[in-house]
Amino acid sequence: MNNTLIIIRYGEIALKAKQTRKRFENTLVNNIKGALGKKNIDNKLRREWGRIYIYSDQIEKCVSILQKVFGITSISQAIEVDCDINSISKIAKSISKEKIKSEKSFAVRVKRTGNHDFTSQDIAIKIGNEIVNETKAKVDLTNPDFELFIEIRNDKAYIFIEKIKGYGGMPIGSQGNILAFIDTPYAILASWYLIHRGCKPIFLLTNEIKKGALEKFMNYWFINSKIIEISTKKNLYEQINKAAAENHCDAIISGLTFYDYSDNVLTDIKHLKKQITLPVLHPLIAMDTKEIKGKLKEIGFVI
């Protein structure tokens, strides 16, 4: 399958009001450009309502990068053709001959947007019959061994064979700023959960975590943020409040959990609340050590 582009889909953004959706889409597009640019991937980006398209000679590298851009729910390597039945049929048959064996079953999934002189069902029936003739495979719309997707949008058709899952969430920068107080590896994970929801992090780093480890995490997730290093020998709370105010943060992120090494986590939370001027969020509070370490490994940070 000679892929010519990548289709990018997003979820929650599409549910927003028109102006908010436009702003969030712009943020997502900028994040995509930033991530691909960071890896020096030559590409051309095109967008239309509900879809973003990436054209590149480095499709496989693009896929691995885009999977880690927050806001993207799924991506597909696809072939783009003009929207006429013969062009669609030619590519569909070529893919089927390569991918489908006679003892396997298949399904053709068609979606259509725009005005055409055919329906989605017309395309599915025609292409399905031609695949049967070419491969002798059987149609199974319920539990097929192979699926061929055809997405028709106005004057173009996109043909692909899989939807690769992204991490979803919201684009970084679509929500407010957070101050991520990084004093333990757990705090890295706590910040990840808020970044995944679109918050822009400002990292406040103590000497308990090496700067290189944090930078590696940031590069892995294409997070372009400020790192502020502080000293544990000075008043910690004053430094936190100052950094939060100077960087217009809306909340502080902590890695505290009931399964932490502290004897009294609730006392620690109460003390933080008294000392810190902004709300302090605790995303990991009910997660156990096994869950936290597993998730840290998943996001590319191994203790």
Residue 286 within a domain: yes
Tokens encoding 173? 């920068």
Residue 165 within a domain: no
Residues 6+ apart with CB under 8 A from 272: 252, 254, 280
Question: Tell me, what's the pLDDT at 261?
Answer: 60
Point out the domain boundary residue: 40, 66, 81.
81
> What single letter denotes the amino acid at residue 154?
N
- Same structural domain for residues 20 and 101? no
23: domain CATH number?
A: 3.30.70.1510
Residue 28 within a domain: yes
- Same structural domain for residues 94 and 76? no
Asked whether 89 and 150 are in contact (CB, 8 A), the reply is no
- Same structural domain for residues 141 and 74? no
Residue 251 within a domain: yes
- Same structural domain for residues 129 and 75? no
pLDDT digits 0-9 by tens, 193-250: 999 999 999 999 987 778 888 999 999 999 999 999 988 788 989 999 999 999 999 9
Residue 303 within a domain: no
Strand 51-55, strand 138-139: pairing: unpaired
Instruction: Please give the share of the chain, as a percent, with pLDDT higher than 70.
Output: 97
User: In degrees to the nearest 10, what's the CA dihedral of 275, 283, 197, 193?
Assistant: 110
pLDDT digits 0-9 by tens, 113-166: 888 888 899 999 999 999 999 899 999 999 999 999 999 998 999 999 999 999
Q: Which segment of 107-111, 114-118, 289-293 scores lowest on mean pLDDT?
A: 114-118
131: domain CATH number?
A: 3.30.2300.10
Domain range for 203: 177-298
Residue 234 within a domain: yes
Tokens encoding 151? 């997405």
Question: Between the CA of residue 154 and those of 39, 82, 112, 164, 288, what are the distances in Å?
Answer: 33, 10, 8, 24, 50
CA proximity to 272, closest of 243, 251, 291: 251
289: domain CATH number?
A: 3.40.50.620
Task: Characterise 300 by phi-psi region: left (phi > 0), alpha (psi -120 to 50), beta (else).
Answer: left
DSSP letter assigned to residue 295? H
Q: What distance in Å separates the CA atoms of residue 5 and residue 47, rounded to the nearest whole number?
A: 12
- Could you give the number of structural domains in the chain? 3
Residue 122 within a domain: yes
pLDDT digits 0-9 by tens, 181-199: 998 889 999 999 999 999 9
pLDDT digits 0-9 by tens, 6-41: 999 998 888 888 899 999 999 999 999 999 999 999
Question: Tell me, what's the pLDDT at 2?
Answer: 56
CA proximity to 205, closest of 180, 177, 235: 180
- Same structural domain for residues 88 and 70? no
Residue 167 within a domain: no
- Same structural domain for residues 104 and 142? yes
> Alpha helix (H) ranges present in the chain?
18-38, 59-66, 85-99, 120-135, 185-196, 211-220, 236-246, 265-275, 289-298
pLDDT digits 0-9 by tens, 61-99: 999 999 999 999 999 999 999 988 889 999 999 999 888
Question: Tell me, what's the pLDDT at 207?
Answer: 75
Of 49 and 179, which is predicted with more confidence? 179
